[in-house]
Chain A
Amino acid sequence: MFGLKADWSADVFERYFTLGDYAGGEARWCPGCGDFAVLNTVHRVLRDEQMPPEKTVVVSGIGCSSRLPHYVGTYGLHGLHGRALPLANGVKARRPDLDVWVGTGDGDCFSIGAGPWIHSIRYNMDMVVLIFDNGIYGLTKKQTSPTTPAGERTNTHPTGAPLPALNPLTVTLGISNVSFVAQVPDWNPPLLYQAIKLAHQHRGTSFVRIIQRCPVFSDSFCKPFQEDPERLLLLTHEHGLPMDESVLRLFPEQRAHDPCNWLGAMEVARDQSRLPVGLLYHDPDAPVYEDLSAQGLNKTNEEKLAVIEKALDNFAI
C-alpha cells in the first residue's frame, strides 16, 4: 500500500496485514453456529483497521464462544468462566498501547460474571466487549442462562425456564459511566461489521450484545426474529450504525434514535415486544480508567530509587 505525503515523497507502509495475518486455529464450533459470523467479522475489522497482530489481545472467559482467542492469530488470553473482564482490564491497565478485545457468553457475562460486568462498564477501559448471547449455556449442554426466555425448556428446567429473562441492555445502560451499547443479530453481516467496527473506534468499553444462533441447543432463541423481522426494531441515526439501502430494506420496523439520548435508549431497550438493533447509546467523553491506572509509566530507575529512599527515610531511626 502506498500513500503520498505532502512533500510528495512516497510513503511505503512497512507492513500491510491481510486476513491471513489474523487467522488462528481452525474453529471447532457446530455447523450453523452464529459464532463463525462473529469470528469472520472480527478478522475483517482487524484487517480493515490494520491492527498489528502482536499489539492485539483477545481475552475470553469459558464457554463455546470463549474459544474465540484460539481462532484469532493475535495474542490471546483464554481465562476463567466469568472472569474475562477483570483479566482484560488488567491487560489494559499498564499497557494502554495494546488493543484489547473480549469475547464472552451470556452465562459467562450475565450470570457468573455479573459482578465484573457491572464494574467493568464503570471502569470503561478502552476495549471491545462482544457478548455472544445465544440464550443458553452451550458448552455445558443446554442449561438455563439469564437470558433464556421464560418457559423455554432446558436440561435444568425441563418444564420451562421459570423466571423472566434478564434484560442485559437496561442493566448495562443503568450502570454509571456506560459509554457504548449496541445490539445486533449475528445473521446480518453488514450490521454486525458496522457495530464491531464502531465499537472498536470508540475509546471506552464498547458493549456489543450479539444475538447469536445456536441451532443445537437454543434454536428457538433466534428463530422468531429471523422468521418475523417485524419483531426487530432498527435504530437509525446519522450518529448510529452506518447502513445502506440493502440493510434498511430488511427491517420493516425502524426508529430514528440519537445514541446521545440515554432516556430514549432506555425506552427502546425496555420494549419487550421488539428487539432493538443498532447503536443504543454512545458517550465518547466518558472517562476511561487507564488514564488513571497507566500513569507514571515513564519513571526512570533513578527517580524510583530516590522516591523509595525517601520512603525509607520516613522510617529511619
Chain B
Amino acid sequence: MRVTLSLRGEKKEVEFSGRTLGDLLSSQGINPEEYVFSRNGELILADEPLHDGDEIKLVPVVSGG
C-alpha cells in the first residue's frame, strides 16, 4: 500500500505491506509514543485500517510548552 506521511508540513510517500496504521508505523520504525496520528483531520489509533492514497499526519508529542 502507498500512503503519504506528513510531518510539520513536510510530506513523504511511502510503500509498506500491511493493513493498519500500526503496520505502517512498525514498517517505518516510527515510535507510536512520540506522535499522535490523524487522517482527514480525525485522530486515528494503531488498529485503524488504512487505504491506498491516505495522507497520515504525524503530530509530534514532544514540543515546546
Q: Do A and B bind each other?
A: no
